[in-house]
Every structure is written in C-alpha cells, then in structure tokens.
C-alpha cells in the first residue's frame, strides 16, 4: 500500500458510512480526517483510494490508461491504475495523425495490443471504459498530412470524418461505455485555426451533427460527449457559448429524432496553464490561490454543472491538472495549496452526485502533461501519494454519511 507512515502515526479512528446502495462500510480515519483504509463484508480491508471511495459514493473517478505502458508490465503503474480509479480512459486513441498516418493504412482494424491491454485490465477489475479525447479534433497537429494537403470539398471532408469515426470505434464498440466524439469545437483562445471549421469553413453545427450521429450508429448504447476547455465556470461568455451550443443542438435533435444529440459535456480543466492566463478570465491565478475567491469559483463550477444537468446533459471534468510549479511559495506550501484546490473541486463534484465524474490525467512526469511540469497529479514520479492524494480522498468521504 502507498500509505504515509506519518499519517498512520497520527492515530486512527473508525467510522461507519453507507455506500450509494445503502450498504454499510467502515473507514479507518486519522484524527486529521484523512481516510486510510476501507472495510466491507465483501472485500475486507483495503486502502482508501480515490477509486474505492468514488465507487462507494457512486461517483465516476477516471484516469488515463495507456496501453503501451500497461504492456510494459510496470506493476506500480498497473497497480495504481486499478486502485486509483473506477473508470479508464483510453487516451492512446486520440490522434488521427497517429491512427491513419497514411491514407487508408489504419493503425488497427481489429484490437491491437494497445487497445487490448486497457480493455482486459478494465474487465478484469470491473472498471468502465471510455474511448478517446475527441475522435474529431481540429487541432492542426492532430490532422494527418494527407488530409491537410488533400483537395477535398466540404462534403468529402464530412464523409471522411464519418468514415474515421466508424473505423475508430468499430473494434471497441462492444467494450466502451463512453465516447468523446468531438474535442474543442469552439474558437481557440490562442488563435489556432480549427482544421474543420476555420480552415475548411465547415459549419460547426453540421460538423457536430454529422459526427455525433455517425458515432450513435456505431455505439448506440454508449454515452457520447463533447469536450471543451475554458468552459467550466458559469458566468463567463465562453462557458455560456458552450452551454447554448449543446442546448440548441439537443433541442433540434429531439425535435427530429426524439433524443439528445450530445449526452454529456466534458469540461477540460487545466488550471493555471501559462498560455491561458490572460486569455481566459477564469484562469486568473488569484481565483484559485485566494481561498475566498476560490470559494466563489467553486460555486460557479457547481452552477455550471447544475444548468447542464437541468437540460438532461451529464457533466465530466476531464484533464484536471495543476502543476505545483505554477503555485507560489516553498515546495511544502505549493503542495498544500495544490491539495486544497484539488480538494475543493472534488468536493463539488462529489456533492453533485451521480452523473458528475472527474477524470484526472495520469499523475506524474513520466506520462504527464504539460511536458516537464512538476507533479500535476496526486502522486509523485515514483507513484508515492502527495498531500493532494489524501486531500482528495478526504473530500470525497466528507460528502458521505
């Protein structure tokens, strides 16, 4: 177990809680309210991890499961995947330029090892699965050269996008419960042109409708999501644009086909990412460093979650990351502040109940983002828990009785 001996030395109390189904379980908690161990009559004692507590709460706790890294047999990596999450996101499957570098030469047409490893690991450990961080993504580096340089009409491009969605999903259609169909359909805050919408002038609504409808045909029982960044907090123009886009498209689809086009909104949440500071008003560092202003931001996050759910759209937070080197103070102060910020975000999500999940992208430098950043995740480079690890667990447990 990755237990901190200093935490254990503080002293332990035992408290009983009820899980999402009303079944009792016991938690060993330190006197500073850090959960260490969980006991129930089915599984006995085990470590109180994010995944374990999220499952008890009925809260989706996700993490990227990299097929190539699972294939290396790294026991620490695999063990942490299994313990820290109840949902795996297969983010290897994200980049069209890697999937089809040469036109017609697909990286896979049936399951290859990078797909099989996370699927098997999920099935063996009773985890749910999602595919991709956006099958259709207009970021220039995600578009293969043959597609960039091809002289295609708009209709041909839309048809190619539909074919790509089908080819991408067909080998895993029976295994995934959630699919991020499109990533970043709003204008880029840094002025980077979207290949589909800006470069080739395809109508945004048409691109989304064609993409989601084709995905629905391939995986009719999966939850389909639209992913976007800088849309997390209610009250900002970009957030309103994202909400209104999904609401309008879903209303149109219900009038035509009797159901939503988009089942879920995925909020990317790269906190204090340097390129966004000054471009996204929500990313003012003081909004998160100052505890009073952070409390206001948490209410804006809560209000945003609630307004999406009020129109029948689930919410997930994707790519939450906060490198400690973006925070002020000594290393100890940075880690404590990171823990406090993560704790507040997790608590809001846990309080909002079923349908609100939290994806955290890996945890350490060796597989992390941004490249070279210091500890943006709840574990260090050796998979040891950081203060944020314990703060997150305590935040989830604090919402349970």
Domain residues for the domain of 146 are 49-398
Q: Are 184 and 227 spatial neighbours (Cβ–Cβ below 8 Å)?
A: yes
Q: Are residues 100 and 1 in the same domain?
A: no
Lowest mean pLDDT among 64-73, 120-129, 236-245, 338-347: 64-73
Verify that 12 and 91 share a domain, yes or no: no
- pLDDT > 70 fraction of the chain, expressed in percent and rounded: 92
User: For residues 307 and 320, what is the distance between their CA atoms, to the nearest angstrom?
Assistant: 21
How much is the pLDDT for 58? 92
C-alpha distances (whole Å) from 257 to each of 217, 218, 254, 318 are 13, 16, 5, 29
pTM for the full predicted model: 0.93
Is the separation of the CB atoms in 280 and 268 below 8 Å?
no
pLDDT of 120-161, one tens digit each?
999 999 999 998 788 999 999 999 999 999 999 999 999 999
Burial class (CB in 10 A: 0-12, 13-18, 19+), 146: middle
Q: Are residues 20 and 72 in the same domain?
A: no
Based on the domain organization, do 43 and 54 belong to the same domain? no
Are 15 and 132 in a shared domain?
no
Say whether both 23 and 64 belong to one domain: no
Count how many domains the chain has: 2
Instruction: Quote the CA–CA distance of 342 and 181 in Å, as a whole number.
Output: 27
Q: What is the pLDDT of residues 332-359, one digit of tens each?
A: 999 999 999 999 999 999 999 745 545 5
- Specify whether 221 is located in the same domain as 133: yes
Identify the CA nearest to 341 among candidates 319, 329, 324: 324
Q: Do residue 214 and residue 283 come from a single domain?
A: yes
344 lies in the same domain as 360: yes
Those residues whose C-beta lies under 8 Å from the C-beta of residue 256, and which sit 6 or more positions away, are none
- Residue whose tokens read 């880690």: 335
- Please check the confidence at residue 375 and state whether its pLDDT lies above 80: no
């Amino acid at each position: 177990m990755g237990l901190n001996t200093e935490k254990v030395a503080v002293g332990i109390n035992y408290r009983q809680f009820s899980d999402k189904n009303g079944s009792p379980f016991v938690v060993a908690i330190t006197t500073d309210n850090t959960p260490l161990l969980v006991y129930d009559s089915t599984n006995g004692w085990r470590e109180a991890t994010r995944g374990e507590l999220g499952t008890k709460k009925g809260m989706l706790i996700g993490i990227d499961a990299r097929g190539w890294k699972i294939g290396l047999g790294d026991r620490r990596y695999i063990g942490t995947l299994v313990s820290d999450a109840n949902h795996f996101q297969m983010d290897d499957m994200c980049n069209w330029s890697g999937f089809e570098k040469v036109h017609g030469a697909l990286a896979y047409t049936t399951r290859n090892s990078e797909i099989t490893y996370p699927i098997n690991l999920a099935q063996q450990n009773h985890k749910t699965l999602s595919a991709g961080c956006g099958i259709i993504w207009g970021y220039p580096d995600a578009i293969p050269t043959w597609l960039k340089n091809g002289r295609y009409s708009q209709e041909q491009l839309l048809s190619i996008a539909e074919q790509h969605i089908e080819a991408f999903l067909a080998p895993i259609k029976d295994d995934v419960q959630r699919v991020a169909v499109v990533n970043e359909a709003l204008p880029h805050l840094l002025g980077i042109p979207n290949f589909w919408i800006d470069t080739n002038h395809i109508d945004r609504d048409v691109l989304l409708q064609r993409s989601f409808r084709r995905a629905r045909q391939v995986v009719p029982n999966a939850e389909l999501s639209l992913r976007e960044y800088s849309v997390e907090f209610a009250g900002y123009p970009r957030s309103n644009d994202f909400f209104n886009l999904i609401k309008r498209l879903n209303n149109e689809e219900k009038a035509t086909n009797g159901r939503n086009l988009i089942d879920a909104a995925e909020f990317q949440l790269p906190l204090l990412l340097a390129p966004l500071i000054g471009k996204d008003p929500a990313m003012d560092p003081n909004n998160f460093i100052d505890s009073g202003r952070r409390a206001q931001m948490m209410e804006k996050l809560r209000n945003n979650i609630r307004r999406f759910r009020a129109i029948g759209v689930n919410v997930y937070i994707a790519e939450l990351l906060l490198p400690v080197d973006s925070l002020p103070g000594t290393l100890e102060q940075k880690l404590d502040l990171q823990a406090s910020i993560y704790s507040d975000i997790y608590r809001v999500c846990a309080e909002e109940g079923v349908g609100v999940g939290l994806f955290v992208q890996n945890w350490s430098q060796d597989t992390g983002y941004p490249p070279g950043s210091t500890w943006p995740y709840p574990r260090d480079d050796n998979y040891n828990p950081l203060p944020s690890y314990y703060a997150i667990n305590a935040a989830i447990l604090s919402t349970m009785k």
